[in-house]
Chain A
């Protein structure tokens, strides 16, 4: 398996993509911003196709579009309390733009078929060459390093923004920096698992880690580990079964890990008791 160059490239890129997704994903789930991650992943699709329609490197389109939208979302969010709706409307429109670019690209002379669209949506990790893979690894490592660098204040600002602000933590600025990191992660992961599927790598390992342990650093490590294991397992599985696309295999394993964590920790007895005031959102476990 490791004798093939395409597999080594996929393994290198996939590992670092998973490291970035696992690390960023932990905070995405903690801050309940999965929907923002969802939106940014769809923006990545539009960015890739806009770059293709304009004839420039796809990666430039990916990073430029997601980071620009992250800054806009950081600006409009948190103010009105209608967060999700604003996010949803912005990304529905950007996705509409993506459709336009897809049409422009596939009707232009150099275009051809819908293959590029399919690659942007569902990833093509086995198609990366050595330089692509190295670049993806460097970017993934940088994202993880940035997340670890701001982990402590970000954790504080996420768990209790009010107290953190009083203690002098720049809560708003951290929120914006974090959204930009999420954007970079989605752009990075689009190359590996595709714009539509990367949400699984962002949400599932992190969600499982959150369920398994309340300790933040342990959960962060667990989230990264699960993401990497899902990627390795997915690549191996897809190599063994050629008709199984690698991105599907990765997401299936990540989803299965979340399901197992969910079943292991779900409190079904509690669910049968009637809802009482104050029991719906008791907040995070204090530690």
Chain B
């Protein structure tokens, strides 16, 4: 088991190194003078230009730049932001991480919780109205741009009905003397709309996977054999069939993370939620390269970690994998 874990982790680390190389190459190969981006719109004198070059390390040969980049990245140093100079990129990332984790974690639980439940329901009631309507709704949701859905929900629940807050994580007028519980409640209220938006658009994939998987398993011989033994239908469905239908969904965890990360760039921007996605969205507008690069790296690491966890899940759940 340890042996497998080590091998798999090494794979992930290697892939991450490839990611680092790719991102570096992308940065350096794109047209335009890096100096121009760093200096913004101002005119710079030769001395200032030289100083800027030295500070951002562009005066070094490319191989040195790469080495500095990689060693820096592994040590957690991702350079300095241009927009928020002189704040370090890593500081910015860390400051936004909690909000992103809160949103992302909530969406993960909601998406997989509802996705698995609804997908299984569809499989068990295959062909009936519940199944057909759930498919239609989920197809429609999957086709929606996350930012648009967010705006629509914000308009409907926030403006029309005045039911929920639509901006940021806290109410700016919130009483700072209030209890911790009340503060948490306030954050939760602000969490509702962004979390619902993100869940809605990613729900479809999980539902579809679970439905397909369970339908396939229900056709297998051992399900018939279990029924023939006189096991109650509920036991046949949930203990025998569903256990086997969970595997593809576990695998989906690895594939779904990029979807979450992409969606959060837009949703956080719409709702002004102070997470990594919003940071990336702002950085694009400001052409703040180091920040975009930093978020790209962090997000890739998350995706790789997600894949690793998914494989670990397979390993834990499926005895056939363990023997390999």
Q: Do A and B bind each other?
A: no
Interface residues of A (CB under 8 A from B): none
Residues in chain B within 8 A of chain A (CB atoms): none
